[in-house]
């Protein structure tokens, strides 16, 4: 279990997220509704729903919005969303896993394929890149939760497998133990910023070309702007100096 291994850039975080809060709330709301439909509408009895609510609160989503999203599922008046995963390659040969929630497979497939192909990438068949990732549980905390040593010790005691402390804390564990680990961490570190299933790359691709990095960031941002796309995971590592040049 490595205490300071770095996995930054696994999921691109946009600095201009505030400008897209409406789209973000829409995605969070969709996840809450789907989670509530797949299990009980009580977060205490539905781990996925609890995770979705935690993620929504971390983005300052109003409680009324959260309640409406749950009520949609309970009242069975929301759209029937399904989870569809796309896999492919981006600029510089990086591997990408694109997770979506959609009520129209054809629309989503067309949109995702178009975005990827127009931005230096191409989609592959199911399983074409996921074999190079590990499916794990991911618990995130802000830097304010504690220093790296405190978080490492807490994660070790809770049964986690790995910790990355860099611009916040990422605690990795097996899928089966995700919510047990999260529950054990809460008394020590407080409520997590996020609790989710994630894709962690087994190896990373260094994107050192500014042109490739710019195109890759554009691809990820454009995907993220699509209402059906929930999360984009990749095995890219863009050096800090390149990211600084991109602004």
Write out pLDDT tens, residues 49-106: 888 998 898 888 999 999 999 988 876 555 788 999 999 999 999 999 999 999 999 9
Give dist(CA 45, CA 155) in Å, integer: 24
- Give the least confident one: 50-59, 162-171, 232-241: 50-59
Query: What is the 8-class DSSP label of residue 4?
Result: S
CB 31 within 8 A of CB 55: yes
Residue 5 predicted with pLDDT over 60: no
Q: Could you read off the pLDDT of 96-146 as tens digits, one per residue?
A: 999 999 999 999 999 999 999 999 999 999 999 999 999 999 999 999 999
Question: Domain 1-15+82-247 adopts which CATH fold?
Answer: Alpha-Beta Plaits (3.30.70)
Instruction: Give the Cα separation of 25 and 13 in Å (integer).
Output: 16
Strands (E), the chain: 82-89, 95-102, 122-124, 133-141, 162-165, 169-173, 194-201, 205-206, 229-234, 236-237
The predicted model gives 26-35 an average pLDDT of: 90
Question: In this predicted model, what pLDDT tens digit does every residue of 170-194 receive, in sequence order?
Answer: 999 999 999 899 999 999 999 888 8
What pTM was computed for the model?
0.85
Structure token digits, residue 178: 């995700």
Rounded distance between C-alpha atoms, residue 199 and residue 137, angstroms: 8
Percent of the chain scoring above 90 in pLDDT: 66
Provide the 8-state DSSP code for 74: H
Q: Would you list the domain boundaries of the chain?
A: 1-15+82-247, 17-74
Which tokens is 144 given?
């304010």
- Of 97, 95, 49, whose CA–CA distance to 70 is shortest? 49
The CA-to-CA distance between both ends of the chain, in Å, stands at 34
Note the CATH number of domain 17-74. 1.10.10.200
């Amino acid at each position: 279990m490595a205490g300071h291994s770095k996995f930054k850039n696994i999921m691109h975080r946009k600095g201009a997220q505030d400008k897209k809060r409406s789209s973000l709330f829409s995605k969070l709301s969709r996840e809450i509704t789907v989670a509530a439909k797949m299990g009980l509408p009580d977060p205490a009895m539905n781990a996925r729903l609890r995770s979705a609510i935690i993620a929504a609160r971390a983005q300052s989503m109003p409680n009324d919005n959260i309640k409406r999203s749950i009520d949609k599922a309970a009242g069975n008046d929301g759209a029937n969303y399904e989870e569809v995963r796309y896999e492919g390659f981006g600029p510089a040969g990086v591997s990408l896993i694109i997770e979506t929630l959609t009520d129209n497979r054809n629309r989503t497939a067309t949109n995702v394929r178009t975005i990827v192909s127009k931005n230096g990438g191409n989609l592959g068949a199911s399983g074409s890149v996921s074999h190079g990732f590990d499916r794990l549980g991911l618990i995130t905390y802000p830097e304010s939760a504690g220093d790296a040593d405190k978080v490492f010790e807490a994660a070790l005691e809770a049964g986690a497998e790995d910790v990355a402390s860099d611009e916040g804390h990422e605690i990795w564990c097996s899928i089966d133990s995700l919510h047990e680990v999260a529950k054990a961490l809460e008394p020590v570190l407080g409520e997590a910023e996020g609790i989710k299933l994630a894709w962690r790359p087994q190896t990373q691709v260094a994107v050192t070309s500014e042109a490739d990095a710019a195109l890759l960031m554009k691809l990820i941002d454009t995907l993220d702007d699509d209402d059906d796309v929930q999360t984009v995971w990749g095995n890219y590592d863009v050096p800090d100096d390149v990211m600084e040049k991109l602004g």
